[in-house]
Structure 1
Amino acid sequence: MARHEKFAPVDWYAVRMRPPRASRRKVRAGCIFETYRARDGSRRQRAVPQTGREEFVHEMLLRRAGFEVFVPADRVWRRPNRFSEKVLVANPLLTGWMFVGSRGGMEWGKLVEIGVVDIMGSAGRPMRVPEREIVDLMNRFGGGRLAPEAHRYMRSYSEFGEGDEARVAVGPLDGLDVRVVSVGGPSVRVLISLLGREQEVEMPAHHLERRA
């Protein structure tokens, strides 16, 4: 994507996907991965415990297709089972519905291919949702799971190159200084120092900010 396109306005629309119950299913995405050496001597990767975030399945599918996505959610205390303590769980406010954004024009055909079956509109025409309303909804109904998306959408981030010094801006490693080892599309590999040793981990580029 050209640099000027990254900062172009986002056109937002409310869409509904099928089946509606699937909108509550979640996956874990955005985990940080570390490289380790297996017993056979090969180099492998594994997810760092307690990293990543929960995403709704529909949200993940749309984001992987290149769309900006926002699912308004509330957080409620629930007990997974009678032997467990209560935990905060995010649930979508509008079952099956979410907001999808795109820079430079919406790709309606791609939305249909992914599973969008309805688009909120008027007189048979899709109705664009003003950005200021989306930002307000993000602030009110982020559901405690907005941070990475909000940082990507609500603030711009600089591109990084090999050897650049950076600082983690979101997530469990927030505030940690790192050095960029390599860049691959929207992800970067960085060198971090944890527990007295250095290791390479992979994370989304928008989790980083340049060091002052």
Structure 2
Amino acid sequence: MKKAETASTSQDRSPSLRERMSDTQVDHDILDIAARLHWYALTVPAQKEFVAQKILRRYGLRTFVPLRREYRHASAKAKRTRQPKQEFCFPLAPRYLFAGFTPGRPLWFDLFSLPCISGVVGIDGRPMPIVRKDMTRLVRKTATGINAPEAQKFMRTHHEFSVGDVVRVMDGPFEGLSVPVVEITGGLARLCLSLFGGAVDGVEVRLDWLEAA
């Protein structure tokens, strides 16, 4: 295995979210092969999980990055101009990926010569394989990704909430109040407000006017 070449990058801009989240495709036969390989958990630099996966695949290694799907703006401009959020894949366990080897001794020296690999999970400096049935269970549960609720498409990024949570109203006539969410339907949340001396749970507010308290 030769040391991977470092690709040159443009210095005049940061990579977009879409560029950083490329090559997230899970191997179509991952469930079939998971039980036949020896799996190790590798550590990689932050936000390089999918880059590392792409490089390792070029060398013929089987890899698996458990996914979660979230709604995000594709770029700062998209957020600024209030364009609809899109669905993107993110690592479920940031800075980790799983590599599967055919039975035998992994070539750790060659593997660690790659700039995208920081280390391997082990005990006392010794790489420890993952129990096969545990790896198979992980693949079975997460191979298709863990999806965020569709309602989060309309919520403020990193301030998402669910029914029963207390939210702060950030805009509109009830700005400044902190109230519980009774129901979420489409792009609206029904809130339980205290108005005119009593509780009212029929007030609907736009999701993008709210954030988790």
* TM-score normalised to structure 2 length: 0.44
Hey, which of these two has a bigger chunk of strand by percent?
A: 1
* TM-score normalised to structure 1 length: 0.45
